[in-house]
Amino acid sequence: MIHKKNIVSNKENLQVIYEDNHIIAINKRSGDIVQGDKTGDKPLSDVVKEYIKDKYNKPGNVYLGTVHRLDRPTTGLVLFAKTSKVLPRLNKLFLTKEITKTYWALVKKAPVKSNGTLINWLKKNPKNNKSTAYIKEIPESKKAILHYSTLKKLDNYTLLEVKLETGRHHQIRTQLSTIGSPIKGDLKYGFDRSNKDGSICLHARFIEFIHPVTKEPIKITADLPNDAIWNACY
């Protein structure tokens, strides 16, 4: 459930953190959906199109290609392609794992091991939009691998850095939950209470890749949400 207090992005408050002629990167708020869904809420992709149309005074329709998604309650980096030429190139970088995405997650119960690799088989249930993790392969399951390390211990929470080797449905949320470390605010995967704004404390923090057109190395950082717990993580 998305709480009414949750701030969503519009063309005036859009958090643009990188932009060139080919690519635009947004720091997504927890209320934003990346692409349209059954809620009928305006997707972030439409907001970015409005922003580009206004900024460059473009007539007609604005092209924008969606390269990847983040779960609605998650915050952080989302890349979009500004041209039809660059979209397949970005898609290929994701497919060949030449884009490195790094997430930060706040959990209440620290993992037993401060660093580790989690390997599970995840099966998605479309009825409740939830994935379940298994230790062995079962029919219709997909292998999921992530690596985590402990960055900081706060008074009541632990900050983990997570790097994905695979990109599965709700992968970080599901896998951290299986080791008894659900993400703060994530009721769906076992946390005991929701965050006031409906978010979960999972943030897409960094993204690194070689620019598909200029061939320059790019590293983009998304600032953490401005609240007391996240601010303690710097």
Q: For 140-153, how does the pLDDT look when each residue is reduced to its tens digit (9 = 90+)?
A: 999 999 999 999 99
For residue range 43-80, what is the model confidence (pLDDT) as tens digits? 999 999 999 999 999 999 999 999 999 999 999 999 99
Tell me the per-residue pLDDT of 149-202, one tens digit each, with 9 for 90 and over. 999 999 999 999 999 999 999 999 999 999 999 999 999 999 999 999 999 999
This prediction has a pTM of: 0.95
Distance CA 38, CA 76 (A): 22
Residues of the chain with pLDDT > 90: what percent?
A: 93
Confidence band for 1, pLDDT divided at 50, 70 and 90: very low
Query: Is the separation of the CB atoms in 49 and 28 below 8 Å?
Result: no
CA distances in angstroms from 72 to 8, 140, 202, 215, listed in the order given: 11, 24, 11, 31
Of 7-11, 101-105, 148-152, minimum mean pLDDT range: 7-11
**Cα 180 to Cα 133: distance, rounded to the nearest angstrom:** 12
Residue 2 has pLDDT above 60, yes or no: no
